[in-house]
Structure 1
């Protein structure tokens, strides 16, 4: 017994080296054969009133097929359930939460009692499959996998052509983000549909196809379509959020042991990584919030941390300090920031983009790259970031001093996940030898903005108290936008010529959106004022301009029931921002020159000039407005 007590503990390096270099593919049944997963599956089973045979043949079959398909990949690279096996764990948690949530719904909705009795089991099975498939598309578009069978060579695996052979060695990594954020962010949502048949037996598929309404909601939910998901989509969305919040240490309404709580500094870093990885913070270009050099990541200070705070609140975290400076201190106290020469958190630095002949001075938080990019190598800025003092003089930093300024410890992570997701050069192929999104805009405190040749002086931005509470996004201040667009405007027809990829959607599809239906009905009945003083809608030659937030607040005032529903979902955000987000998802509005959703429009009157903030919708989408004359007094500033 004493010899056991005094036995030398293995060195950490020995433990890491003893772990297998590659994962081994296993059957779905084996992957689910852990005490935690089996306990969760038993809880899920108890939520259905079905026979043992039906459960085994169709429900458990679907879960095992899912597990064997995704193997031990994580649910996300740097956010929730990011360790090995995270996608299975997240999906099982979402299944358990979702089926419980579904019990609070009358399914099918808006049906006669006799139909509900005969169809409710089918609809709950539809919700079950939708939850199971909601993240499955990630293995098609987001993750690159190679495998080799015994004695063979590594080859690429694609889930469309079968599972990874059982007992084969495999390795995975996350792909680099595509340059188009909008496509990259939603691609896995569309790809999920291609794997849906893998989860269904022939009998189960026939059963679902007997109900057209269920089929429509299932398909719309799995593909994250703007329209049609309705009850099934609500169940999946709520279940997904519950699992994410639980994993990230947010308040789920269930008391847990205090030791399982995620510390605040780790929440801040994980949230910041997510905002950057999802493209919600622009990087390495004029107006960006993130600037990456060879060794450090410079993060525009106040507005970025405000975005992190909003992100955490939206996920359900409690106890997040309102004071942004306190968040700086938390990061510095845990040695996650590089302090400036005075030992404080915030740096002042000058950005020089020589290619674009552009310069800007901002306040930053400074991180070592490995803190923000633990599993990948980011693209670096092709320019320079120069720290300056209060007088504007460049600070000459000693490389050794900078290296020792902080310990670059990362938040506690799972050791197995660290080995399985080793830092890989993203530019090298995974087999040896066999971009950035139209990001959301960043609002920040601009200390000085200069354009070289000619020099243009711009005023400072609005204070952060005016920050738009848009989920996980912050807006670029108009003051820091291009001086050319600030001083000149264009007509509706000229603006349309600049709209290279305008999208036309049939009006009968658009009116399935409650807000659009209310808008068109109000215009046709003259309940909504158009093309007059203080009107919330202006019809131009090629656009329908919606004044924000006036038109959205008007909708909420006229629809009290909808307003209460939005208020429940809004949390700390302004309620109308949820309507804005829904409108933006239709993708029928023209964006500004810097990618902003809301643009300026000036109104020339006889005695004065006023300015509006508007969404510019494509008028071609609304043939019912063809008889309205165009307002010629409007000038658009993109």
Structure 2
């Protein structure tokens, strides 16, 4: 919840209560008022109402956790490091919180309805926050109209709206650190700065967490269907229709074993791509040269199990059936049956009559290449979170 994130952020800053209330709390209050219940994306991570606020807090919390394990700033002595400790921590706090603050201006089209619900007007985000209690509608700018460069520059412009003047002056006592912060917020190159790596790692951690276990709610105005939904729906339909993805026989696409279906990587990607192109559209589906993107999509959303040896989503196996057939080494993705067929085990396909052996590590590059398994004539059987300020009501914000 946002309340637990806020508590964690406060602890990780290691500031006194007085300093936190003076320097951090005003930033959080103003930022919550500004982003309201806006999403962080249209169909990717944190696309639900309030997603941008949650993402900002998650990134700040993770960034502060990473910062705790680092000696900052780099290249200075122990005394200077101790003297600058809280300034470096505050830089991480601000850099992480504001990394995506430009999204409401550059990526979204927000219409506010101050009085008459029939008469809306565009929200000018640069002019200030929406009034609390107003209804508003969120729409997403077409991708070719999104101003990504503006999105990158806006954090530096908006920072002075959120960060107290006395705090900026305090940071300004160390001009190099203040300069590093504003270079980062402006997306300028700062090769010696510690901020980009910390915030990048924290951002990736927040995105990964949300994709794997976050809600799938999206704004009703979102037009883009997430790639993972298209892939999983296509895969489930192909399995339901039978025959499109042969299982449990020599030359099959997959084998059922140990509560999972083990699909040959490249063959699965090619079959799903062809199916979606035939029944929907090939638009937005990675090409055969980018099969690894499909593997990543399955892994990032927790649809398939990661290999504990560090090979990501890819496993390497050999299959041996009692009918006397043995596969060559195969690179596969491991999908738990419950992810594909639901919790009712009576709908699950039967496991193979034979064995499946997990081999050594497998690379994603190898998995992207098609492995042709020679077929035999004999066959095996087929088998709502607390906010710092009251957000304005969201109009047209229902699950996508």
Q: 1:49 Cα deviation (Å)?
A: 2.9
Aligned to 1:512: none
Q: 1:232 Cα deviation (Å)?
A: 1.3
2:60 and 2:97 in contact (8 A); partners too? yes
2:55 and 2:206 in contact (8 A); partners too? yes
Select the residue among 163, 167, 170 that pairs with 2:136.
170
Q: Distance in 2 between matches of 1:160 and 1:184?
A: 14
Pair 1:236-2:179 in alignment: no
Q: Distance in 1 between matches of 2:202 and 2:336?
A: 34
Aligned to 2:174: 211
Q: Distance in 1 between matches of 2:31 and 2:340?
A: 43
Distance 1:327 1:145, change over 3 A: farther
Select the residue among 71, 88, 107 that pairs with 2:53.
88
Distance 1:234 1:301, change over 3 A: closer
**Mapping of residues 32-111 of structure 1, within 5 Å:** 36-111=1-76
Aligned to 1:296: 280
Q: 1:50 Cα deviation (Å)?
A: 2.4
Distance 1:334 1:270, change over 3 A: same
Distance 1:297 1:329, change over 3 A: farther
Aligned to 1:420: 397
Give deviations 1:491-527, integer Å, cap 9, x for gaps: xxxxxxxxxxxxxxxxxxxxxxxxxxxxxxxxxxxxx
**Mapping of residues 189-588 of structure 1, within 5 Å:** 189-228=152-191, 230-249=193-212, 269=228, 296-298=280-282, 299=285, 302-310=288-296, 318-319=306-307, 320-321=313-314, 419-420=396-397
Q: 1:78 Cα deviation (Å)?
A: 1.0
2:56 and 2:96 in contact (8 A); partners too? yes
Give deviations 1:346-396, integer Å, cap 9, x for gaps: xxxxxxxxxxxxxxxxxxxxxxxxxxxxxxxxxxxxxxxxxxxxxxxxxxx
Q: 1:417 Cα deviation (Å)?
A: 9.9
Q: 1:93 Cα deviation (Å)?
A: 1.2
2:23 and 2:163 in contact (8 A); partners too? yes
Q: Indicate the SS of the match to 1:248.
A: helix
Distance 1:422 1:80, change over 3 A: closer
TM-score normalised over the length of structure 2: 0.59
Q: Distance in 1 between matches of 2:127 and 2:206?
A: 30
Q: Distance in 1 between matches of 2:394 and 2:114?
A: 23
Q: Indicate the SS of the match to 1:420.
A: coil
Distance 1:418 1:162, change over 3 A: closer
Q: Distance in 2 between matches of 1:191 and 1:311?
A: 30
Q: Which protein, 1 or 2, shows the higher relative CO under an 8 Å CA cutoff with sep ≥ 6? A: 2
Q: Indicate the SS of the match to 2:13.
A: coil
Select the residue among 113, 120, 123 that pairs with 1:154.
120
| C-alpha RMSD of the superposition | 4.1
Q: Indicate the SS of the match to 1:173.
A: strand
Q: Indicate the SS of the match to 2:37.
A: coil
Q: Distance in 2 between matches of 1:53 and 1:76?
A: 35
Distance 1:272 1:105, change over 3 A: farther
1:78 and 1:270 in contact (8 A); partners too? no
Give deviations 1:94-113, integer Å, cap 9, x for gaps: 11111111111112221122
Q: Distance in 2 between matches of 1:214 and 1:67?
A: 26
Q: Distance in 2 between matches of 1:38 and 1:422?
A: 23
Distance 1:328 1:314, change over 3 A: closer
Q: 1:228 Cα deviation (Å)?
A: 3.7
Contiguous gaps of at least 5 residues in structure 1: 1-35, 251-259, 274-288, 336-415, 424-638
Pair 1:140-2:105 in alignment: yes
Aligned to 2:90: 125
TM-score normalised over the length of structure 1: 0.38
